[in-house]
Structure 1
Amino acid sequence: MQIQDLPYPDPGVPDARSGPRLLWWLWRNQLGGQLKALAWGLLHFVAVSALPFCVGLAVQAVVDRSGERLALTGALMLLCGTAVAVGDTFLHRAAVTNWITAAARVQQLLARKAAELGSTLTRRVAAGEVVAVSTGDVEKIGWFVEAVSRFTAAALTVVLVCVGLLVYQPSLGAVVAAGLPVVALAVLPLLPRATRRADVQREKAGRATELASDTVAGLRVLRGIGGEELFLDRYRRASQEVRHAAVRSARMWSLISAVQVLLPGLLLIAVVWYGVQLARQGRITVGELVTVYSAVMVLSYPLQHFEEIAMSYSFSRPSATRTARVLSLRRPAAADAGGTDATAGGGLAEVPRGELHDPATGLVAPAGRLTAVVCGDPDAAGRLAERLGGHPTELGRSVLLGGTPLDELPLEVARTAVLVQDKDPVLLSGTLRELLDVPASGAVPADEALAAAQCEDVLDALVQGSLDAAEPMDARITERGRSLSGGQRQRLALARSLITDPEVLVLDEPTSAVDSHTEARIADGLRRLRSGRTTVVFTSSPLLLDRADQVVLVHEGEAVASGTHRELFDAEPRYRAVVTRETDDEGVLRDAFRELEEIEESA
């Protein structure tokens, strides 16, 4: 895989049982690139390590006054220099390719998982952690995956140099061969403590990122209540904790770096001292001493990769663990089985039609009708809305559409059949045209959807806020629509859902942030535009309830009553309490007055 071939046609199925297993899976899935980097790395490191032998031969040729050997040595040095340059160039190219392709594979896997889980992802994993995984963690994982091949090339080069020195000059070669393992492995006792400190730093950085993300998302609310300074102080404290943890972590890594510099230096001193003694005794030549000295000095270059691989693994392991935790999230087994094959007979499976039935609560939404659901607990209403969209819950039983369990449908078919708009819809940045460019049946034009959602003033606001917008569809929307009010964001999201024109549309409090006059017009437009389609609206607004074909009261997880708004209002006290938001005492008092009026009328 080359960078220009990205994205992957299929990133594969990751081994998400643990962080190390995920790293191993990534390495295996780009074995060709790893072998290429290993080959170029061996060429580069071996050529670098061969230069000291050439220098030693050149020095000995000068001592022996041999011009022929000096010329031959010069040619060998030119060849090694060329190999060093070529190997370094293509090693860097292969390493960067491995880094980027590994990071891109993880990003595609995360994007696929986010698309599979939908809104339930952030309910299982904090938003700040999702941001950290999809940005910094991806880079650290790519770093380790590409560093493995360079480390392997460096380790093989160290072994080859040790063998070469033993053959070239056994006396000094034995000293080098005995000392190099100590130099390479001396930092191992320090790694656990360094890793723990790095983990603490990343944990604190993740909390700070989550705090920053939540603060930015709620900036409008914070400004409304004057809470900016409070959250700023919280983020400042979190940032300082990250700084202190980073300093503690850096101290350990600086100690490891110091050891990696000190021990090769001590080995070099020992080799020079022992070599001088051997040279005085006439057991080795000056050229051999220079060769061994230069070889040990040059070995500090490949030895640096021992420190890098330790550092990259310590940083990437917790990142891979967090990534594996996200990638291991699953929908129910039935949904996975159905979602693995989205086609039937070479095409997309047919979307089922009929009533929407939730066996867990007993809720039934007739086909082609507008059903309003009243639930006293907003959180329970949100969970029920997710269930109707086929998202998994703890209740276990699947929602049925036309008698077909949604969990048994391929994921693409289920999402074509049922669309859920939650109470806090997200607007992506871009133009209005891009926002409304969603998969749709084509039966609902954009202008009709915008009109039904009462977006006229929203379009005017977008045009006024865009200097270069010739028409409303070219007006730009800021990130998450933060330049718009809550009601304006709700209406744009509703228009987007109406354009999609699914078989079943589930709306969770779609008008909670608009005024009553606008809400009444939206109710009329929704009823008109969704005529003949199944629509379920979770609301307690009398304006929407009065225009519904059927109203269902869900109390304590069970559909306890159904009928028109007026029927339930007169006959069902629990329904009346939710819609009017009256207390128990107020309800008792009102019932007493009604009974008194009935007695007076009968008298």
Structure 2
Amino acid sequence: MQIHHLPYADPGEPDVRSGTRFLLWLGRNQLGGQVKSLLWGLLLHLGIAGSPLGVGLAVQAVIDRSGGDLARAGALLAVLGAAIAVGDTMMHRTAVTNWITAAARVQQLLARKSAELGSLLNRRVAAGEVVAVSTGDVEKIGWFVETLSRFAAAATTLVLVCVGLVVHQPALGVVVAAGVPVLALAALPLLPRATRRADVQREKAGRATELASDTVAGLRVLRGIGGEDLFLGRYREASQQVREAAVHSARMWALIAAVQVLLPGLLLVVVVVYGAGLALEGRVTVGELVTVYGAVALAHHPLRNFEEIAMAYSFSRPSAKRAAGVLALTRTTATGPAAAGEPPAGAPQGGETPAGALPAGQLPPGEAPAGDPPGGDLYDPVTGLLAPAGLFTAVVCGDPDAAGRLADRLGGHPPGEPEAHVSVLLGGTPLDELPLGTARTAVLVQDKDPVLLSGTLRELLDVPSSGRVTPGDALAAARCGDVLDALAQASAEPGGDPMDTRITERGRSLSGGQRQRLALARSLVTDPEVLVLDEPTSAVDSHTEARVAAGVRELRTGRTTVVLASSPLLLDLADRVVFVRDGRAVAVGTHRELLAAEERYRAVVTRETEEDTLVDIEECA
């Protein structure tokens, strides 16, 4: 895989059972690149390791006054120099390719998982943690994958050097062969402590990143209450903790680096002292002593790869563990009794069926066979909520958190409770059994706090859609006339097209109501089979709310629309209202019918207190 071939057509299915298994999976998937880097690394290291042999032969040729031997030694050094130049260049090229392609593979996997989980991702993993995994952790993982081949080349070179020295000069070679493994493994006892310190540093850095992300997201509110200095102080304290942890970790790595310098120096001293004695005794020639000395001196270069692989693994293992944790998250599959047609947990027994629900084992009207394209009624077996195809259905929960969880369920993103393993049915087909792209096309959920990405309004509304709803129609239905006027005034050119006016990140230059209506227009443009809106008008005044509700109803005529809200203005326009209490649909009808017949519904919609409800009951009595 070359860099110009990115992105991957398919990044594959990762092994996420542990961080180490994930790293090994990445290495296996880049086996071709690893082999190339290994071969070029061997050429480099063997060229470096062979240089002392050429120097030793040249020195001995001068002592022996042999011009032929000196020429041969010079030719050998020239060949080794060319090997070093080519090997270093190509190893660096292939190693960087391995690094970038591994990081790109992880980023693609994370992006795919984010798209699969949707709004569930930031409910299961902190936003700062996701940012840290997709940036710093990806770099560390790529670093380890890149280091593997260079480490393998260095280790192979050291083995060959030791074997060669033992064969070339056994008296000195045995000393080197005994000392090199000690040098290579000397840092192992220090690694656990260094790893723990690196983990502490990474944990504190993640907290600081999360704090910074939250502060930036809430900067507008912080300025409103004068809280910038307070949060700046908190971030300053967190960043100082990160600095202290980094220094603490660096001290341990400095100690490991010192060991990697000290021990080779001691081995070099031993070789020189012992070799000089052998040379004085005539047991080794001066050229052989120079060769062994040079080999030991240059062994420091491949030994540095042992320190680097240890450092790379120590930093990448927790990063890989976090990445694997994110990649291991899955959408809840359709399992359990309700998926098999049995009544969901908590369903009434003895044939009793709450309003809006269906008897046990009976599928909702309009069900299509399992293999048919998605369409028909939307039915939630857990709550008993039924949204008939082509109608405007309003859902009243009373609890905003429960409404948010229900909206997630209707979109195929159950929040994780045990009963949530039962899939929502669209036309009798479980959403979890549909391909992800098909499910997303069929059902779109807009939560109560939608995000507007930076860009022009034209780019904001340029989303995958059926093509039946134009951006102009969607903006009109969402009553965005004042938003267009504001964008036109903000245009760099007088009388500029508001569609080409740039919207800042998250729409911070707009009011809450304007952002909400633009997000609604974006959802309307997509024109899904089923549109689920969670409190779509909570940030607008009552007059605008009534107009927006009428616009949505008119534009979505003949399409299935589910709105979770408690506003009487919106509920009065719905074809059907379902009242959900304690996780079950307990009443269904029009808004006016439920006001007259269901006291609990009236209390939620009209904001009556319990005392008011008791007074009404007494007056009716």
Match of 1:583 in 2: 609
Kept in 2, the 8 Å contact 1:399–1:406? The answer is yes
1:93 CA displacement: 0.4
Mean CA deviation greater in 463-472 or 109-118: 463-472
Which residue of structure 1 aligns with residue 135 of structure 2? 135
Aligned ranges 1:191-590 → 2 under 5 Å: 191-334=191-334, 351-392=373-414, 393-394=416-417, 395=419, 396-467=421-492, 470-590=496-616
Cα distance in 2 for residues equivalent to 1:464 and 1:134 = 38
Query: Does structure 2 retain, via aligned residues, the 8 Å contact 1:351–1:416?
Result: no
Residue 352 of structure 1 deviates from its aligned partner by 2.3
Partner of 2:34: 34
| Cα contact 1:550–1:565 (8 A) shared by 2 | yes
CA distance in 1, matches of 2:468, 2:165: 79
Structure 1 unaligned regions, length at least 5:
339-348, 597-603
Write the distance in 1 (CA, Å) between the matches of 2:292 and 2:129: 51
* Residue 147 in structure 1 maps to residue 147 in structure 2: yes
SS of structure 1 residue aligned to 2:394: strand
Residue identity in the other structure for 2:23: L
Q: Is the partner of 1:274 in helix, strand or coil?
A: helix
Alignment CA distance shift 1:353-1:372 (3 Å): same
Q: Distance in 2 between matches of 1:548 and 1:420?
A: 18
Task: Supply the AA of the counterpart residue of 1:407.
Answer: D
Distance in 2 (alpha carbons) for counterparts of 1:333 and 1:447: 38
Other-structure match for 2:365: none
1:211-247 alpha-carbon deviations (Å, 9 max, x no partner)? 1111111222222222222222221221111111111
Q: Decide whether the 8 Å contact of 1:373 with 1:552 is kept in 2.
A: yes
Aligned to 1:167: 167
Instruction: State the distance in 1 between where 2:561 and 2:128 align.
Output: 34
Deviations 1:46-105 (A, max 9, x none): 001111111111111111111221122111111111110100000000000000111111
Which amino acid is the alignment partner of residue 191 of structure 1? Answer: L
Q: 1: CA distance between counterparts of 2:287 and 2:433? A: 77
SS, match of residue 364 in structure 1: strand
Aligned to 1:510, what secondary structure does the other structure show?
coil
Q: Distance in 2 between matches of 1:221 and 1:64?
A: 85
Q: After the TM superposition, which of the residue ranges 36-45 and 361-370 deviates more from structure 2? A: 361-370
Q: Is the 8 A contact 2:334 2:423 kept in 1?
A: no
Deviation at 1:408, TM superposition (A): 2.1
Whether the 8 Å contact between 2:333 and 2:423 is mirrored in structure 1 is: no
Aligned residue for 1:331, secondary structure, equals coil
Q: Give the deviation of 1:586 after TM superposition.
A: 2.6
SS in structure 2 of the partner of residue 440 of structure 1: coil
Cα 1:590/1:201, change in 2 over 3 Å: same
CA distance in 2, matches of 1:468, 1:18: 55
Match of 1:117 in 2: 117
Q: Which secondary structure does the structure 1 equivalent of 2:379 belong to?
A: strand
2:67 is the alignment partner of 1:67: yes
Say yes or no: does 1:182 pair with 2:208.
no
1:288, distance to aligned residue in structure 2 (A) = 1.3
Mapped partners of 1:244, 1:488: distance in 2: 44
Relative to 1, partners in 2 of residues 1:191 and 1:277: Cα closer, same or farther, differing over 3 Å?
same
Residue identity matched to 1:497: S
> What is the CA deviation profile of residues 464-510 of structure 1, one whole-angstrom value per residue up to 9, with x for unaligned ones?
33426942222212222222222111111100100000011000001
For 1:266 and 1:496, the matched residues in 2 are separated by 70
Match of 1:48 in 2: 48
Matches of 2:443 and 2:589 in 1, distance apart?
Answer: 24
CA contact (8 A) 1:351 1:417 kept: no
1:5-16 to 2 correspondence within 5 Å?
A: 5-16=5-16
Offset at residue 590 of structure 1 (A): 4.5
CA–CA distance in structure 1, aligned partners of residues 544 and 507 of structure 2: 20
| Residue identity opposite 1:284 in structure 2 | V
Deviation at 1:591, TM superposition (A): 4.5
Distance 2:130 2:402 in 1: 25
Q: Specify the SS of the correspondent of 2:299.
A: helix
Identical aligned residues as a percent: 75
Secondary structure at the aligned position of 2:566 is classed as coil
Question: How far does residue 582 in structure 1 lie from its aligned partner after superposition?
Answer: 2.2
Q: Residues 408-428 of structure 1, C-alpha deviation per residue, up to 9 Å, x if partnerless?
A: 222222111111001111111
Secondary structure, in 3 states, of the residue corresponding to 1:13?
coil
User: Does the Cα contact within 8 Å between 1:389 and 1:506 map onto a contact in 2?
Assistant: yes
356-365 or 83-92: bigger deviation? 356-365
CA distance in 2: counterparts of 1:70 and 1:459, whole angstroms: 85
SS in 2 for 1:582: coil
Whether contact under 8 Å (1:52, 1:294) holds in the other structure is yes
CA distances 1:330-372 after superposition (whole Å, capped 9, x unpaired): 123449xx9xxxxxxxxxx853222211121111112111111
- Give, in whole Å, the separation in 2 of the partners of 1:126 and 1:271: 56
Q: Secondary structure of the equivalent of 1:373?
A: strand
Q: How far off is 1:585 after superposition?
A: 1.6
Q: Deviations along 1:236-267, whole A, 9 cap, x unmatched?
A: 22111111111110110000000000000111
For 1:506, what is the secondary structure of its paired residue?
A: strand
Moved more, 578-587 or 433-442: 578-587
The DSSP-based 3-state class of the residue aligned with 1:283 is coil
TM-score (norm 2): 0.91
Distance 2:36 2:594 in 1: 73
| Structure 2 SS opposite 1:89 | helix
Contact 2:42–2:157, Cα closer than 8 Å, also in 1 = yes
What amino acid is the match of 1:459?
L
8 Å contact 2:141–2:316 — kept in the other structure? yes
Distance 2:316 2:592 in 1: 61
Q: Which segment drifts farther, 519-528 or 427-436? A: 427-436
Code of the residue aligned with 1:32 in structure 2: it is G
Question: CA offset at residue 270 of structure 1?
Answer: 0.8
Unmatched 5+ stretches in structure 2: 340-370
For 1:98 and 1:44, locate their aligned partners in 2 and report how far apart those are by CA, in whole Å: 18
Is 1:351–1:414's contact at 8 Å kept on the other side of the alignment? no
Q: How far, CA to CA, are the matches of 2:561 and 2:454 in structure 1?
A: 28
- Equivalent AA in structure 2 for residue 554 of structure 1: V
Aligned pair in 2 of structure 1 residues 486, 97: CA closer, same or farther (>3 Å)?
A: same
Aligned mates of 2:261, 2:588 — CA distance in 1? 79
